[in-house]
Homo-oligomer: A and B are copies of this chain.
Amino acid sequence: MGEVIARLAMSLDGYVAGPGSGREHPLGIGGERLHSWVFGLRTFRRMQGMEGGVGGPDDELLAEHVVRPGAVVMGHGMYITGEIPWGEEPPFHMPVFVVTRHPREPLVKQGGTTFHFVTEGPERALELAREAAGGKDVSLAGGADLVQQFIRDDWLDELLLHVVPVLLGDGRRLFGDPGDLGGPGDPGGRHVEWHKTQVLDSPEVTHIRLRRKPTAS
């Protein structure tokens, strides 16, 4: 069975989007800064249907994470902010399972992306994505609250963080508020150990690849 993987760009102070993020302004104020390292890369441009771009270690790392999954899981909020900018040919090119409370027929887009709307919760969305991935990995696209839930419920096998040396000061935190990673009856949160398997430094960003280990006491 494939793994569940996520990659997220995060500021030094832990934000994945600036303040005021929403449908009008998906990345919030200053949030584009978290992604400036990726825009010129060959793999990113190819995902958007563009030619050219640069190769190198950042690009190789991105390419590896992009070819692994066979399906995507994302939250409703991320879908809502993305549906207009993604346009008629979204950059996924595979089935996408959206965790939502709003039932809706599957939405078939160009280039291999079909959005499936799952109202039975994230565990069911993950189950459907695993089936659709056919042995490949499942990519957890976000948002932050869904990543928190996947960490809390121990469903995430690998987390690739792109740490950008900027302090946004406000916005949407990847790791949320105190206790967001803790289970019921565990108000102090949970001490979750990760195993750091790769660190790749480049001028604009530090990539930290993490894998889950058993919870330490």
| B-binding residues in A (CB < 8 A) | 12-14, 18-20, 29-30, 33, 151, 161, 163, 165-171, 173-175, 178-182, 188-196, 199, 201, 203, 206, 208, 210, 216
Sample (18) of A-B pairs whose CB atoms are under 8 Å apart: A12-B161, A12-B210, A13-B174, A13-B175, A19-B188, A20-B188, A29-B188, A33-B216, A163-B208, A165-B195, A166-B192, A167-B175, A167-B181, A167-B194, A169-B179, A169-B190, A170-B189, A171-B189
Report whether B206 and A182 are in contact in the complex, using a CB–CB cutoff of 8 Å.
no
Report whether B179 and A165 are in contact in the complex, using a CB–CB cutoff of 8 Å.
no
Task: Count chain B CB atoms within 10 A of each CB in A20, A189, A216 and give the residue with the most.
Answer: A189
Question: Knowing A167-B151, A178-B19, A181-B167 touch, does A191 contact B12 (C-beta < 8 A)?
Answer: no
Question: Knowing A14-B13, A14-B175, A178-B171 touch, does A191 contact B166 (C-beta < 8 A)?
Answer: yes
Q: Which residues of B are found within 8 Å of A170, using beta-carbon distances?
A: 178-179, 182, 188-189
Report whether B178 and A192 are in contact in the complex, using a CB–CB cutoff of 8 Å.
no
CA distance A30 to B19 in the complex (A): 30
CA distance A29 to B165 in the complex (A): 28
Q: Which residues of B are found within 8 Å of A29, using beta-carbon distances?
A: 188, 191
Interface SS of chain A: loop
Q: Which residues of B are found within 8 Å of A188, using beta-carbon distances?
A: 18-20, 29, 169-170
Report whether B189 and A166 are in contact in the complex, using a CB–CB cutoff of 8 Å.
no
Task: Count chain B CB atoms within 10 A of each CB in A20, A174, A188 and give the residue with the most.
Answer: A188
CA distance A170 to B161 in the complex (A): 20
Report whether B175 and A192 are in contact in the complex, using a CB–CB cutoff of 8 Å.
no
Report whether B165 and A169 are in contact in the complex, using a CB–CB cutoff of 8 Å.
no
For the complex of A and B, the 6 pairs showing the least CB-CB separation, nearest first, are A169-B189, A170-B189, A13-B175, A170-B178, A199-B201, A169-B181
Q: Which residues of B are found within 8 Å of A173, using beta-carbon distances?
A: 14
